[in-house]
Amino acid sequence: MSIHKTFPNYQLKSGWNALLPAREASPALGKELIVDVLIIGAGWTGISAARRWHSLSPEAGIALIDASEIGEGNPGRNSGFLLEIALAEDANPNQVEKMNLCNRLTTSTMAGILADIEDSGHAVDITKAGTYRAAASEAGLKSLQNYRAFLEAAELEYEGLDAAALKSRIGSGFYQEGLYSPNCYLAQPAAAIRALASLLPESVQLFENTPALKLVQQSGGWKVQTPNAVINARKLVLANNAFSKELGIGRSRLVAVHTYAGLTPVLEKSVLDDLGSDENWGLLPTHRLGSTLRRTRDGRLMVRAMHSYEKETPKEKVIDELQRRLEKRFPQLPNFDFEHCWGGAVGFTFNGGAVWGEFKPGLYVSAGCNGGGTVKGTLLGKLLAETAHGLEVPDVPKLFGQASWMPPEPFRKFGFKLAATLETRQGRHEL
Ligand SMILES: Cc1cc2nc3c(=O)[nH]c(=O)nc-3n(C[C@H](O)[C@H](O)[C@H](O)COP(=O)(O)OP(=O)(O)OC[C@H]3O[C@@H](n4cnc5c(N)ncnc54)[C@H](O)[C@@H]3O)c2cc1C
């Protein structure tokens, strides 16, 4: 299977990246390097940390390494929902003050992402299209109710939709009930991360195809082994999400849960005419087992679903299951094959909290995206650089949670399997 111990090496290419023109990657690191700061992981979190670190210490020698290439790796594999407000899983109607502060932080981070994308001059498909949330089972309806209570308590705009209204907007009669919330952008994620990476200051050295294999603490800092060379850094930032545990940080708090996506070819106009009135929309499930859906502006459908623990599911099974999910939601679709199918790893923590802060002297970590780390990762990466500079920052563990302890293997794996079986039984109508 396709996972190297310390970094991801996916079996399938990112569909979003495949839709973009080819891009020349920065060279891999070939010789020993000495820097003030090394950042591992050039994703939403790592790029944000690198840019903020540079703005606070313009003279610092900063290197940013990634096991993959910008756009091809995990940051360009998501469904492209950039939420200005809390995910349904995080929404708590009983903690409105705290949630409002989180929402303010993520909303202003999103405004920064938009401004950055515009400054980059890259053509990125990104729109404030909002998002639907919809339920197809009792369990889904319960969590929809909780989310509605949160939106009301936080005085956030939304529109309630019955099954018929949803069907007329998105062309699917699969759901019993839903709501529409405008506080979400839909982006081509690989294009977005390429745009953000292009804004890295020249003095930040970017090395792609350069995985960190091992970290060693030494006097005056850290030594990091990569395939062809060693990097000596005074300070180290881990922004490699689930894989930080493979480098020894957050082992008792993080797991890599793989999830998968499929993107159809551009659909015929006659098919699109039968897919409701909205032409560019996204839908998030209210139940963890449900499927994320998108209709892209260029007339494709995307489905994101399924989970697997610590390793990828074979691609044939992924393609079959994703196809089945899409057909169930859109029985009117003619026979189709996905143009692209891929998977990615989510840094999952038991209680949804983050692994964030200074873990050892000079070692800073921001990991555990829990499936919603595009905007949140951008924020937490920036706050990590600020905290490393001794600046006063919002209380991240209090606001976004602190990852809780998980039992070691094999109990962890059994626990995950047991929870997945129970949830599958409870939410089978969402599958
Ligand atoms: C199919 C799918 C759909 C998703 N949909 C959404 C969505 O719509 N919205 C949302 O907010 N989130 C979504 N997520 C989660 C989303 O991908 C993450 O929240 C986001 O990418 C987190 O950003 P990050 O920079 O913290 O970490 P990542 O994106 O995981 O980036 C970590 C980087 O570290 C690199 N790396 C890992 N190990 C090493 C190593 N040892 N050495 C060097 N580099 C290393 C990786 O190559 C990667 O580039 C989805 C995830 C998947 C898989």
Asked if the structure places residue 95 within a domain, the reply is yes
Give the pLDDT means over successive 10-residue stretches in the chain (431 positions).
73 98 98 98 98 98 98 98 83 86 95 98 98 93 92 94 98 97 98 98 97 96 98 98 95 95 97 96 89 97 96 97 96 94 95 95 95 95 98 95 92 88 81 85
What pLDDT is stored for residue 263 in this prediction? 98
Question: Distance, CA 241 to ligand 1 centroid (Å)?
Answer: 7
| Cα gap 412→406, rounded to integer Å | 7
Residue 364 located in a structural domain: yes
Q: For residue 6, tell me if it sits in a domain.
A: no
Sign, CA torsion 240/241/243/248: positive
% of the chain exceeding 70 in pLDDT:
99
**How many domains does one find in the chain?**
1
DSSP label at residue 428: G
Structural domain contains residue 76: yes
Ranges assigned E (strand) in 18-67:
33-40, 62-65
**Helix, strand, coil distribution of the chain in percent, nearest 5:** 35, 25, 40
Q: Which residues touch 94 (CB under 8 Å, ≥6 apart)?
A: 153
Domain presence at residue 77: yes
Q: Judge whether 2 and 180 are in contact, CB under 8 Å.
A: no
Q: What is the pLDDT, as a whole number, of residue 227? A: 97
User: Cβ–Cβ contacts within 10 Å for residue 314, how many?
Assistant: 11
User: How many whole angstroms separate alpha carbon 293 and alpha carbon 333?
Assistant: 14
pTM above 0.95, yes or no: yes
pLDDT in tens, 139-154: 899 999 999 999 999 9
Atom of ligand 1 minimally distant from the CA of 347:
30
User: 70 CA distance to ligand 1 centroid (A)?
Assistant: 11
Residue 172 forms part of a structural domain:
yes
4 found inside a domain: no
- Position 88 scores a pLDDT of 65
Question: Looking at residue 104, which CATH number applies to its domain?
Answer: 3.50.50.60
Centroid of ligand 1 to alpha carbon of 165 (angstroms): 34
Q: Whose CA is nearest to atom 9 of ligand 1?
A: 81
Residue to mutate (ligand 1; options 33, 241, 396; most atoms within 8 A of CB): 241
Measure the N-to-C terminal CA separation of the chain; round to a whole number of Å: 25
How far is Cα 63 from Cα 46, in angstroms, rounded to an integer? 11
Is residue 9 in a domain?
Answer: no
| Ligand 1 atom nearest to CA at 304 | 1
Which range marks the domain in which residue 425 is found? 15-430
∠223-248-250 over CA atoms, to 5°?
130
Q: How remote is the CA of residue 242 from the centroid of ligand 1, in Å?
A: 8
Residue 240 alpha carbon, nearest atom of ligand 1: 34
| Measured distance CA(47)–CA(55) in Å, rounded | 12
